[in-house]
A and B are shown apart, each in its own frame.
Chain A
Amino acid sequence: MLAQILFFIFAAMCVGGAINLLVQKHPINSALSLIVVMGSLALIYLLLGAEFLAAVQVIVYAGAVMVLFVFVIMLLNAGEEERLSHGSRVAILLGVPALIIGLGIAAWFITHITGLDRVAIGGPEIMNGTDVFGNPQAVGKLLFSTYLLPFEVTSVLLLIAIMGAVVLARREGD
């Protein structure tokens, strides 16, 4: 019961932040509402027993990546967005009902067809700490044994990303 209440609180915060991201005009407001979404997602990860991912979500996503975004928004002095082109009226008239119908069909499929609504996860065992399987020790063991090669490849990817960012952001003629 407590897990359900916590889930609904954080799910409401997630959806509210995501909708606020769409509604806000200024990019800094959108960035801050995305931080709310990421923080609530970290708590939902904790409900699912993913301790390591919850920590990484807060440190890497809500911390490092969003600081980078806020830094760039303030560096470029981004203001309110101006709209030069307006979407076609036909696209709005057809798109909004199509989106609602599509989401409804998807929700019906998810909840009815596969019988997933009978599979309950994230219960009191996880909250008591007896069923936490996503702790850093277990994830690290798997990461450095089965997934050692992909892990090493990500280090190359990060190196390339660092060099690419430096080359792209450099001024011409330096």
Chain B
Amino acid sequence: MARATKTKSTQKWLSLLTVLMLMMAALPALGGSVSYAQSDSRTFPETGKTVKGRFLQYWNEHGGLAQQGLPLSDEMQEKSDLNGKTYTVQYFERAVFELHPENQAPYDVLLTLVGVFSLKSTHPLGAPGEKASTENPLKFAATSKVVGGKFRDYWEKNGGLAQQGYPLTNEFQEVSTVDGKTYTVQYFERAVFELHPENAGKPSEVLLSLLGRFQYERKYAAGSPQHGGTAVIAISTDPGQLNSAITTSGNTHSVSDQIFNGLVGLDESLNPIPELAKSWDIAQGGKVYTFHLQSNVKWHDDQPFTSADVKFTFEQALLKFHSRTKAALESVLDGIDAPDPLTVVFRFKQPYGPLLQRLDVVEAPIIPMHIYQGKDLQNDPANLKPIGTGPFKFVDYVKGDHVTLTRNPNYFKSGLPYLDRVIYRIIPNASTAAQALEQGEVDYIGSVQGSDLTRLRSNKDITLAQGYGGSGGSVCQDVLIPNLTKDPFNTLEVRQAFYMALDRQFILNQVYFNQGSLSTGPISKQLAWAYTPDVHIYSYNVAAANDLLDKAGYPRQRNGTRFSITFTHATSFDKLGAAMADQLKAVGINLQQESLDFNAAVDKVFVKKNFDLGIASYCNGSDPEIGVRRAYVSSNIGPIAFSNGAGYRNSTVDQLFDQAATLTDRGERAKIYAQIQKIITDDVPYFWLVDSQGFRAYRSVFKGFQVSKGNLVEQAWSTQPGR
């Protein structure tokens, strides 16, 4: 009783204070040069919200409905994401007004930087495939981006810098989450411009994204994370076993990445962030890395986690059985020391730049020494009852059916995870999985077939999100692999002609259903820090391709064909094969299909090397050293899956890759990778098709899925935990 009274009086006191603060806040505005009647107000029946006073005046003076849109909220108090201070704000469809009584009019109403937040959340790795406008261009020194053409007209006519802000990107292509079509867009600090050629000549040719609404929904519609609830996640294949330190298989990792942790995590932009290591020092120019571990981390069986676990995991598991980590680190690593329980030291033979990028739960999950020491890691029963340090604990695994995980109440990241239970349901058929999602039998599917996209998009109970990574690999590109060791692809002109004869935009639209963007070279645009657009671009050009083939000495025979080649691929690429065969007829290339199951196709192309043209999804990973190097250096030509399958040899490229690996400064490394990209696109040893960005779909009651990361559900929560 006493407690209740106290709470009540506190509330009273707080509300009084708020009123006082509001009055004080209003004072300077009243005293400013622009005065307005306190009673001015307008209520919008469409949303039932009222705009009044200074905000209404600003709204009227700055384009009203067309520019700002309808109010979505009443005036409210909000803590700024930028400086942590509390301001009076109001949300509109296309903008968020923030009252700054400390400023003179007209700067007392500022628009929050919705464009900045939006760019960060939709393109955390930077905008893909930006292109500076060349039509009446205006370059801004502040952000070194260019506004031109229709966008410049609109920007200048509609409030310019004050209303729209600086450009944050150049123009680029983006798939609209509203209608799934691709539009040319440009992000500004306070708006995103979208070009609608179907409205040419009308004022609606340039439309603004509803950024205010996105922001409002993101922040308020959902509320704050709640504990409780179960998420059912569909996976297509049985995980088999659940020790992710001895495999890179996405089937195992998709489940196990919730059970284990890496030493270092990766944020949305793939930058290293603390995980089991709370901090680290790099010494001797990148030869020695010292990691300071979190104290009080417990394994799921309550044993303490120590540096000995890290040393054991690397020496006995990762460097022997995790094929990617073994291939990368075994030869460069000098040794691992555990001087005390909370310190781990990695010593390298020479400086090694990319280490921090490859210590996350996908590349290097840490497993318990006390469980595995002295055991045969390949066959230990613990692989089916994993003990980790991660947000979820293993409960049961019914083969072919499901895996159940439960919340780890002692997770070292306090407050996390939110969900009580996560169930992985094994559903091999993609259509069945999509239908199960629609019926609410499952809550998340990790990939969406093109044929299901439209249906799911129109279902408002379901949210679609594009991701660039996950447990099976991240930042992937679909790449055609020509066999450079034999005729005809041993000739540069043939390769150039072949690449130019492919209408890749058509392929992206019709075969990939826009789940990605056109590749320009060996590094995906998604890996923004290492990517450069400044390379040899091969645009679709049938005439030029025909010329090149004539010059290269492959004349058309009587039946119109120059030569025949066989395209060896997994059945999942059947549609691509058909589209390519059709396009290649125009240049007299007869493309025959050899459609095999995945394993057989990989064997034929990479191991037996008995092929003309193959295809693979090469995942770049969080660093070119992880997933780009392997396909281009001559030392990696061998009977190994996803190696240098084309058989490409260029000693300059080999040297540059070696050099880039020894540097720790990203800027310096980026310069070398730019050089590499230029040389490789001149040589065209592969045909880069699409930088993949696949759709994931989930029930809209869920928030916080990390759709591009291994630990998908660590921060996920349900708005209806009782369901």
**Are both chains from one complex?**
no
Interface residues of A (CB under 8 A from B): none
